Amino acid sequence: MKTSILITIGLFVWCISGMAQKKYVGVWESGHGGNLIHKALPWNAFLEKDKEMKGKGLRLDDFEIIKSGIRAKYVGSWKKGQGKTQFSKPLEWKDFLDKGKQLTQNGYRLIDFEIFMAAGKRKYVGFWKKGSGNNIITKGLRWKDFLDKGKEMTSKGFRLADFETYKVGGKYRYVGNWRSGSGSNIITKGLKWKSFLDKGKELTAKGLRLYDLEIVKIGSQQRYVGAWKNSSGSNIVTKGLKWNTFLNKGKQLTGQGLRLADFEIFTTPKSPVQNTNTGPDVLPDPADFPKVPSHVKLLNGTQGSDKYRVVVDFTKLVDGKPQITIPTQFLKDLPSYNGKIIFPDNFCGLNIIKAQRFMWHTQNDGVYKKFPFNYIPESSSILKEYSDSGEGEYFYRYGINFTGPMGKCATSAKDWVFEQPFMKQSTSFPQPLKLIIELNSDSEVKFLNYKIVQGKPLSALKLFKPTSAEKLLKYYEKTLLGSLEKWIKAVCKENPKECPEKKDGKDQSN
């Protein structure tokens, strides 16, 4: 069977002087069948990619986590295989152990796991596969204690299947995943690259093969910690390479009958590279960010009553959609560049928080209040009109919603739907009318994807499609663009656990 490494190149590879770049170290062993590796993806996209790979007869063999801004991203390596698999989402230690007990009882065994920090909490992500035998995971231990634990586990018939490291007070801790097994199984301390290669030659000559690798940093230098077991066949480790070079090396080694068994990622300072504004290494141009749709009109600093109105005008269609007018002062969750809003490209509804009142108008601007359309008189408000039923406070604080094909999202609504209090009953929009929503000074306009979570506004991250959000976050990271600060604050407000840690007012995120 012809085999290959899947080449997936991102739109942008960052090569800015003084910034860190990621390099990939690979452990390769004799093998056959498909072997694919994919670039870093957010959690949900990574799960979808795993489903896609399963459909091709592949199973995840190894994955790594990269912190990208305030999010964790996942890089995966898949091999030809079969059997049921399952991920456990990021969990703290106790919850991770509880999840492990549940999955083990259901016939799953831990294949690979990773550790990362989120909002000051250490999280564990696991990949599980249907299997047999015993499976134990041991807590983070110092090096000597970890070696002692290894001797104990080996005497009980276990062998180290995978290990990960994390730091506490400047000292590394080692977490082990142990499976029922036999044969020799050793772990070597952190060594410099050349010494590690020499150790590899020595152990290979003794019938051992490298199957798991971790990179630790002692001072300013990297050390390589390896796990070895009895095996045969070819076994090589490739030095840290940039993504595209790593892919090309993978193609070469796959052609020689090797398959990726494990990989690690580390960062290193970039050498200065001149930005010529051409090619794939260019910093994203803000002009490439999502554009404001032609049917959306943003008002910047407008005086008069329009400054406090959201208008959805079905009497004035633009590209088959009603013209939607929104004062920018109420779009508090959106990023901006040079004072201009960067409009989202992943939504299909609006949520208006703390709206004062609304009314429907005909094409001639006459008030329209026939059934099933509602109307809030000028002398009243949403808060007052629905105070008796208790809904007024709810509508005011949690917002009034409508959805429709006004924007793009994963499950875009096909029809326009205006629920209470806009209408007495939900119905497809029947005729050309104009909806005017009057706002207060502290009102907010948020965005919805109705089919994901009914009535719940999208978080600042999800307002943009994965590629768009990735560009925005990377642009913020690499240029420290101050105008995106409010967007980051919005993310932190809505998703505290994904917010970069701060200490003494400084960002401590990786």
**Residue 483, CA distances (Å) to 112, 137, 236, 480 in order:** 40, 45, 47, 9
- pLDDT category, 448, cuts 50, 70, 90? confident
What is the C-alpha separation between 104 and 40, in angstroms, rounded?
28
What is the C-alpha separation between 103 and 82, in angstroms, rounded?
18
Side-chain-side CA neighbours of 390 within 13 Å: the count stands at 0
pLDDT digits (tens, 9 = 90+) for 296-336: 999 886 556 667 899 999 999 888 889 999 998 899 888 87
pLDDT for 394 beyond 50: yes
| Extents of the domains making up the chain | 26-269, 286-507
Q: Are 86 and 108 in contact (CB under 8 A)?
A: yes
What is the C-alpha separation between 255 and 298, in angstroms, rounded?
55
pLDDT digits (tens, 9 = 90+) for 230-289: 999 999 999 999 999 999 999 999 999 999 999 999 987 654 444 334 333 445 566 678
User: Looking up tokens 């008030």, which residue turns up?
Assistant: 367
User: How far does the chain reach from its first CA to its final CA, in angstroms?
Assistant: 41
Residues ≥6 apart with Cβ < 8 Å to 321? 293, 295, 405, 406
pLDDT for 208 beyond 80: yes
Token pair belonging to 98:
């509880």
To the nearest whole number, what is the mean pLDDT of the chain?
A: 83
User: Looking up tokens 């199973």, which residue turns up?
Assistant: 59
Quickly list H helices, 364-461: 382-385, 391-398
pTM of the predicted structure, to 2 decimals: 0.54
- pLDDT category, 61, cuts 50, 70, 90? very high
Going through 336-433 in order, the beta strands assigned E by DSSP cover 336-337, 340-341, 349-361, 400-403, 417-418
Token pair belonging to 461:
């991250």
Residues ≥6 apart with Cβ < 8 Å to 490? 332, 333, 460
CA 36 to chain centre: 21
Nearest C-alpha neighbor of 124 from the set 150, 154, 88:
88
